[in-house]
């Protein structure tokens, strides 16, 4: 396992929790509607196995920390009470929801909680020092636990008090969710079964420059779709009409094309396109091999879908990050659907990361057929970039 994916990070099997206060960072940053009702509790359900295991192993109390939204100070609409209510239903036990996350009252509530209790602290981002890695705040969190478990992959790329800093102050390990993420990306990044096919999409090359560079060191085939493909095509001298293009990234893209050639990596770009006369759901649409002037490509065409699906079918390891087009609009979703179906049908080991890719695979009802669907958009992208994640490298118990 590479350092980028958390080499040596120990899991729950290495941690003695009997009779101890277990402080746990979870990712309960769930979507809510305007009334404050939770619309998708996937992230809450994802944390249940670790919480249940710790309780079953005899933890005296489990103290949960999470953020919700991006508050600047206390925001009544972003309190965690609805999360506590939903969590209690899943756990089939009462969850103690506190209105603060630090202080004497919080410490007293944890100390007085009955054995086997679950306590949810208030939104950690109500604290000004949370995202500044404030030492005093980190120490205040640490006073609430005897050991620390990080099970929040989605925030593990951030050096924050409740993620990386408290991990340095207590014996700390990865929870089951985080451990699964580490192991999944390790299977892609270190000694993958070959051929390794990487699929990248999304709007901008600039968002994925480091990912492209890292994957060109590791993969056998790189499939590029989405808006980012058109900067590549222009760099190769093809006409792209009004398609999205980052002209300021042209030299970097040319360097990537040269690197792929030098390393004998097959880099495939769209060979046909679904184009529109304007960026709108009701735009005029047609499928073309060459993009006409005045038109913009908003999805990969049927021949490209078939080509990409063939490469995916022949792969032993597949990683996908980013949609193939503007899949939110019905006229431009077929490319992303085709790739999603190909990934789900593949015999190889499959990893899907990135918010839009995960949303697409879930909308298709195919997430159960993918070997690993990542819970962290930014975190999964940084792992693919080869970066070390602070929330993983800070864990103090090693294998």
Alpha carbon 209 to its chain's center: 17
Which strand (E) or helix (H) includes residue 356?
Answer: helix 355-363
286 and 160 within one domain:
no
pLDDT for residue 1 is more than 50: no
Q: Is the pLDDT of residue 3 over 60?
A: no
Mean predicted confidence (pLDDT) in 25-54: 94
pLDDT (0 to 100) of residue 2? 39
- Residue corresponding to tokens 């080991």: 349
Q: What is the pTM of this model?
A: 0.90
Contact by Cβ (8 Å): 154, 99: no
**Are the beta carbons of 19 and 57 closer than 8 angstroms?**
no
Contact 6, 48 (CB under 8 A): no
| Other beta carbons less than 10 A from residue 210's beta carbon | 14
Q: Specify whether 225 is located in the same domain as 253.
A: yes
pLDDT digits (tens, 9 = 90+) for 63-112: 999 999 999 999 999 999 999 999 999 999 999 999 999 999 999 999 99
Considering the chain, what is the average pLDDT of its residues? 94
Q: How open is the CA angle 70-76-77, to the nearest 5 degrees?
A: 60
List active site positions.
43, 204, 355, 378
Q: Which domain holds residue 127?
A: 3-176
| Cβ-based neighbour number of residue 304 at 10 Å | 24
Q: What pLDDT score does 7 carry?
A: 53
Query: What are residue 61's phi and psi, to 5 degrees?
Result: -155, 145
**394 domain residue, yes or no:** no
Whether 291 and 357 share a structural domain: yes
Of the candidates 176, 193, 223, which is a domain's last residue? 176
CATH number of the domain enclosing 130? 3.40.50.1260
pLDDT above 70 covers a percentage of the chain that reads 97
For 325-345, what is the mean pLDDT?
96
Give pLDDT tens digits for 101-152: 999 999 999 999 999 999 999 999 999 999 999 999 999 999 999 999 999 9
What per-residue confidence (pLDDT) applies to 4? 43
In contact, 249 and 292? CB cutoff 8 Å: no
d(CA 353, CA 375): 7
Q: Determine the pLDDT at residue 397.
A: 72
């Amino acid at each position: 396992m590479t350092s980028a994916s958390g080499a040596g990070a120990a899991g729950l099997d290495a941690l003695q929790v009997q009779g101890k206060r277990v402080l746990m960072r979870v990712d309960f940053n769930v979507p809510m509607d305007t009334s404050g009702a939770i619309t998708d509790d996937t992230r809450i359900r994802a944390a249940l196995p670790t919480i249940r295991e710790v309780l079953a192993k005899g933890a005296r109390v489990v103290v949960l920390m999470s953020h919700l939204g991006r508050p600047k100070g206390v925001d009544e609409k972003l309190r965690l009470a609805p999360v506590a209510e939903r969590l209690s239903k899943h756990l089939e036990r009462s969850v103690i929801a506190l209105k603060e996350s630090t202080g004497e009252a919080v410490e007293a509530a944890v100390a007085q909680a009955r054995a086997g209790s679950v306590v949810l602290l208030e939104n950690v981002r109500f604290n000004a020092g949370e995202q500044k890695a404030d030492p005093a705040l980190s120490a205040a969190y640490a006073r609430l636990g005897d050991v620390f478990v990080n099970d929040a992959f989605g925030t593990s790329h951030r050096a924050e008090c409740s993620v990386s800093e408290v991990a340095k102050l207590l014996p700390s390990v990865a929870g089951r969710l985080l451990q699964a993420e580490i192991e999944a990306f390790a299977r892609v990044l270190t000694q993958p079964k070959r051929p390794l096919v990487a699929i990248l999409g999304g709007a901008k090359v600039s968002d994925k420059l480091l990912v492209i560079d890292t994957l060109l060191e590791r993969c056998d085939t790189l499939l590029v779709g989405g808006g980012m493909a058109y900067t590549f095509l222009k760099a190769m001298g093809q006409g792209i009409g009004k398609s999205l293009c980052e002209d300021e990234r042209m030299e970097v893209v040319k360097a990537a094309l040269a690197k792929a050639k030098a390393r004998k990596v097959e880099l495939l770009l769209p060979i046909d396109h679904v184009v529109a006369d304007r960026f709108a759901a009701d735009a005029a649409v047609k499928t073309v091999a060459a993009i006409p002037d005045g038109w913009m490509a908003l999805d990969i065409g049927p021949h490209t879908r078939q080509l990409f699906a063939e490469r995916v079918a022949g792969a032993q390891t597949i990683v996908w990050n980013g949609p193939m087009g503007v899949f939110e609009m019905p006229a431009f979703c077929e490319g992303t659907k085709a790739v999603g179906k190909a990934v789900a049908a593949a015999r190889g080991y499959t990893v899907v990361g990135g918010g839009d890719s995960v949303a697409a695979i879930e909308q298709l009802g195919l997430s159960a057929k993918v070997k690993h669907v990542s819970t962290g958009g930014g975190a999964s992208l940084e792992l693919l970039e080869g970066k070390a994640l602070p929330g993983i490298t800070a864990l103090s118990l090693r294998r």
